[in-house]
């Protein structure tokens, strides 16, 4: 694809935003979240040859209605002191673009929307945060040859997590389909509406979230190198057999493991082998966890902010290989379940009461020192049907880097797609690992 300039570019404002004064950006984990964007693409096919397929004028008006229910996305960040922000300037709006592409949609489809075939970087509306006038949300429609369209969205992670974005998209698709919204779905829940968070006694959050003066935090040890993303497609029946085998090897009926935990343990082991890590090399598993659905306050499902926490499961390379899949999966599950609501709110209290949040280092920094990140997008199951064409696929997008990242995509009927990002040398060795590849149906 030769990148073409947008044939339409505008900024969407909304009534709720234009009436809103400036207000504090979300607290808690949002305060220590970097200026990055959640970026993803949904692919639609015009199966009925509808001339009004994904009509941009209609689409823009529907998106404006949805943004009116999540108006902070139409603002800008206003920096204050000590790493804190307000959200304001709602007259500047969310970015909306429409592009054409000479690419053949059917070729994208045949490749299972591979990162080697689809020009993802050219589809993304906002790639990075460049300053105080950067929009916090952007959407881009890219129309291709042979009946397809890519809907790409970028949402600033510092103001809201992926579940919050999914909530907004759910409302957007309901509006597109002409369905009504319940009164409780319209409410935007903010920090000032929550019960004040409290610390837990005898929990020292500075162990996982230490404070460093500027320039004194541990430097990354992973060196810049070429990297790639590949999509590994696993058959669910093969994963069921793997789980059964792992459970039998553990010989402990009291332990319950999920398919996600077993799959993660297997990929973690394969990446360590592919990287040829030294025995004492840091090989932590870093899993992003949310507990909104366990919160006693049901309104937290509508919370606008980041109610997530990175869970580091500490390993050296030797420990991970020696322990075996059952033990690694067991420790991953225990780590995830330890991040309960009282712990998360105690962590929020620690972050909120820090005088200068720019001094706090998150466990995410371990990725730069050899940790392996895992993100479970399978929980972002949503009905992306907006009444225009068939929804074929959702793909996440992160900037290419040598940091190893595993992203489990929303489950399909019979298969599970897992996106693995790794340096090119290690990735080449990974696909030559016969033990690992025995469970892989295809690679794209």
pLDDT digits (tens, 9 = 90+) for 400-438: 888 999 999 887 889 999 999 999 999 999 999 999 999
In DSSP terms, 309 is beta-bridged to 289
- Dist. CA 83–CA 188, nearest whole Å: 24
pLDDT digits (tens, 9 = 90+) for 145-156: 998 999 999 999
Tokens 């009004």 — which residue? 52
Classify residue 196 by burial, with Cβ atoms within 10 Å: 0-12, 13-18, 19+. Answer: exposed
Tokens 């949310």 — which residue? 290
**Among residues 125, 108, 126, which one has the least CA distance to residue 117?**
108
pLDDT higher than 70, residue 232:
yes
pLDDT higher than 60, residue 70:
yes
Domains and their CATH numbers in the chain: 8-193 (3.30.559.10), 227-378+399-443 (3.30.559.10)
The per-residue pLDDT for 4 is: 66
- Dist. CA 357–CA 32, nearest whole Å: 7
The model's confidence at residue 66, banded by pLDDT at 50, 70 and 90, is very high
The per-residue pLDDT for 413 is: 82
The per-residue pLDDT for 411 is: 76
* C-alpha torsion 72→190→38→390, nearest 10: -80
Do residues 62 and 147 lie in contact, with contact meaning Cβ atoms separated by under 8 Å?
Answer: no
- Dist. CA 328–CA 315, nearest whole Å: 9
Rounded mean pLDDT, 53-78: 96
The model's confidence at residue 2, banded by pLDDT at 50, 70 and 90, is low
Rounded mean pLDDT, 98-110: 96
Instruction: Supply the pTM of this predicted model.
Output: 0.94
pLDDT higher than 70, residue 58:
yes
Do residues 41 and 150 lie in contact, with contact meaning Cβ atoms separated by under 8 Å?
Answer: yes
The model's confidence at residue 24, banded by pLDDT at 50, 70 and 90, is very high
Beginning with the edge strand found earlier in the chain, give each strand of the sheet holding 85-88 in spatial order. Answer: 23-24, 85-88, 76-79
Q: What is the DSSP string of 85-126?
A: EEEE-TTS-EEEEEEEEEEEHHHHHHTTS-TTTS-HHHH-S-
pLDDT higher than 70, residue 3:
no
Average pLDDT, the chain: 93
- Reading the block at residue 335, the tokens are 């780590």
């Amino acid at each position: 694809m030769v990148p073409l300039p947008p044939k339409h570019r505008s900024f969407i404002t909304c009534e709720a935003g234009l009436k809103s004064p400036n207000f504090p950006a979300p607290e808690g984990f949002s305060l220590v979240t970097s200026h990055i964007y959640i970026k993803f693409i949904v692919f639609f096919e015009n199966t009925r040859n509808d001339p009004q397929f994904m009509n941009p004028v209609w689409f823009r008006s529907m998106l404006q209605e949805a943004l009116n229910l999540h108006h902070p996305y139409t603002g800008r960040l206003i920096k204050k002191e000590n790493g804190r922000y307000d959200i304001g300037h709602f007259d500047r709006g969310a970015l909306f673009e429409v592009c054409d592409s000479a690419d053949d949609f059917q070729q994208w489809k045949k490749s299972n929307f591979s990162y080697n075939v689809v020009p993802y970087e050219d589809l993304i509306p906002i790639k990075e945060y460049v300053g105080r006038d950067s929009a916090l949300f952007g959407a881009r429609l890219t129309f291709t040859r042979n009946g397809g369209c890519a809907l790409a969205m970028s949402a600033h992670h510092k103001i809201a997590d992926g579940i919050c974005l999914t909530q907004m998209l759910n409302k957007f698709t309901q509006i597109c389909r002409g369905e009504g919204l319940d009164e409780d779905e319209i409410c935007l829940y903010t920090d000032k509406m929550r019960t004040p968070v409290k610390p837990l006694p005898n929990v020292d959050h500075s162990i996982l979230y230490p404070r460093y003066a500027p320039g004194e935090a541990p430097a990354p040890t992973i060196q810049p190198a070429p990297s790639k993303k590949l999509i590994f497609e696993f058959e669910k029946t093969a994963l069921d057999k793997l789980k059964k085998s792992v459970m039998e090897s553990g010989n402990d009926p009291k332990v319950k493991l999920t398919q996600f935990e077993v799959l993660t343990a297997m990929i973690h082991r394969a990446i360590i082998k592919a990287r040829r890590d030294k025995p004492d090399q840091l090989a932590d598993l870093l899993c992003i966890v949310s507990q909104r659905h366990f919160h006693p306050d049901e309104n937290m499902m509508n919370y606008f902010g980041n109610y997530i926490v990175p869970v580091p499961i500490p390993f050296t390379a030797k420990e991970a290989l020696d322990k075996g899949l059952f033990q690694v999966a067991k420790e991953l599950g225990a780590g995830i379940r330890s991040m309960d609501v009282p712990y998360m709110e105690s962590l929020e209290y620690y972050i909120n009461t820090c005088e200068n949040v720019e001094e706090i280092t998150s466990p995410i920094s371990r990725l730069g020192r050899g940790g392996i990140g895992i993100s479970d997008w399978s929980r972002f199951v949503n009905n992306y049907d907006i009444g225009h064409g068939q929804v074929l696929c959702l793909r996440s997008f992160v900037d290419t880097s040598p940091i190893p990242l595993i992203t489990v995509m929303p489950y399909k009927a019979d298969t599970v797609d897992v996106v693995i990002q790794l340096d090119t040398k290690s990735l080449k060795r990974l696909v030559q690992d016969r033990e690992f590849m025995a469970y892989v149906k295809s690679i794209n």
